Amino acid sequence: MAKQLHRSFRDQQIRSLLQSYIDKEVELRYILEILKIGRSRFFALLKDYRQNPSEFSIAYKRRQKTRTISPEIEKNILHQLRWEKRLIENLDIPIHSYNYCYIRDLLWQKHRQKVSVPTIIKRAKEHNFFLRRPKRKAHDREVLTNYIGELIQHDSSHHKWSPYAASKWYLITSLDDYSRKLLYAELVEKETSWDHISALESVVLGYGAPYAYYTDCHSIFRFVQGRDSIWRKHYLVTDDVDPQWKRILRDCHIEPRYALSPQAKGKIERPYGWLQDRLIRTCARENIKTISEARQVLRAEVDRYNNHQVHSTAREIPSRRFQRAQEEKKSLFREFMVPPPFKSTKDVFCLMTERIVNSYRKISFHNLEFKLSGVSVRDTIQLRIVPNKKTGIADIRFWCEKAFLGTQKVRLEDINLVHF
């Protein structure tokens, strides 16, 4: 880029140097060194000076007129800024600042109007739609893993995702640490162990078994002594009891890892913040009231994040980074195979409990009795339960040591899933 001489020299100084060259008082190489410019730039200045010495000036002149936007675009910008202000003033939803990039994207999607973010910010300041953000620590996170599947970040977030919704919902998400690709994202009304197991099943069957899963210390993921039971047995310590989630990780040979603080989960908090911000704003503008409608919005935002958004840390689009790692064989995902002696994925991705065979060769489970053949009194029977929320039916698969005893179907309302 040409040096901006008007920032370093006055017109009279340049005239003096040019005249010294014309009068052969100073050699060209000294003038070029003083001005820090090249020969072509110097002779262009010399030409202008010779044509009109008295009017010669190096003052900057704007060559292009300032662009103006149409009244329709102006109207749409202010309309969206008013929407943003209403969201910020609504204390029931977690929106605390304006998102000018979102407005830019929305204007293009809805009206095919191309507007720059600085233009939107300028209008925001002029019409009092601007909040000065507090100073934050510089974003210095980096990718610490070397392979896809080396670490899967998994968490949930509980918010009122739409101001028109009657209640809050849970967003459950799984993120590949290396590529930053969201491998799973779903909204649920209540958070249960089964919802997280379903997320785990989706990732393992869709991509393979990863090396490790990274979660917080929620009771769904980890037993912590002194927290998870009032009437606890005092000889039990942290991790002496395996929750449903951890049992399945063990069957899949996946290492569990735990974050000991919210700050330790910063990598997954950024996608959550991005999704949360966009999801709430879109649900508000589209008058979303039900979780099924919100799920459609979520799918669109996940597609944008995975396939169109350049990640601020990885500096790549997550899906492209994920695909490139696959092509370069930089993957720790392993093909999932049902471990013996199990016969189906239902025997792995399930809720587990045990019962003892009574003297009538029956077992009881939540006021239900099951007659089993091929068992003896006092045998331990393992129940592997697969709920289906759509049909309201659960499959219960019975195992005694390594023998499969059969399956029974029961209504979900007849068993207490909260127990798990």
From CA 226, how far away is CA 220, in angstroms rounded? 15
Tell me which residue has tokens 């009244």. 71
Residue type, 215: T
Do residues 193 and 351 lie in contact, with contact meaning Cβ atoms separated by under 8 Å? yes
Looking from the CA of 197 toward its CB, the CA atoms found within 13 Å total 27
Is residue 188, in this structure, part of any structural domain at all?
yes
Shared domain check, 407 and 321: no
What does the DSSP 8-state code read for residue 406? E
From CA 251, how far away is CA 24, in angstroms rounded? 88
Write the CATH number for 223: 3.30.420.10
Domains in the chain, number: 4
Residue-by-residue pLDDT tens, the chain, 420 positions: 345 777 788 888 888 889 889 988 888 888 888 888 889 989 989 998 999 888 888 876 655 555 678 889 999 999 999 988 888 888 878 888 888 888 998 899 888 999 999 999 999 898 888 887 666 555 445 557 899 999 999 988 888 888 888 899 999 999 999 999 999 999 999 888 999 999 999 999 999 999 999 988 878 887 665 555 545 554 444 545 678 999 999 999 999 998 876 656 655 566 667 778 888 899 989 999 999 999 999 999 999 999 988 887 788 999 999 999 999 999 999 999 998 889 899 999 999 999 999 988 889 988 889 998 888 999 999 999 999 988 999 999 999 988 999 999 999 888 876 656
From CA 274, how far away is CA 298, in angstroms rounded? 12
Is residue 112, in this structure, part of any structural domain at all?
yes
Phi, psi of 237 (to 5 degrees): -120, 175
Shared domain check, 284 and 234: yes
| Residue 396: domain span | 345-419
| Cα–Cα separations (whole angstroms), residue 64 to 24, 121, 122, 260 | 38, 22, 20, 56
Shared domain check, 240 and 174: yes
Shared domain check, 318 and 169: yes
**21 class by beta-carbon count within 10 Å (0-12 exposed, 13-18 middle, 19+ buried):** middle
Is residue 134, in this structure, part of any structural domain at all?
no
Is residue 278, in this structure, part of any structural domain at all?
yes
Shared domain check, 85 and 180: no
Shared domain check, 76 and 41: no
pTM for the complete prediction?
A: 0.73
- The answer for residues whose C-beta is within 8 angstroms of residue 65's C-beta and 6 or more apart is none
Shared domain check, 379 and 267: no
Is residue 142, in this structure, part of any structural domain at all?
no
Do residues 377 and 358 lie in contact, with contact meaning Cβ atoms separated by under 8 Å? yes
Domain end point (choices 327, 359, 383):
327
Shared domain check, 306 and 189: yes
Is residue 322, in this structure, part of any structural domain at all?
yes
Shared domain check, 199 and 295: yes
Residue type, 356: I
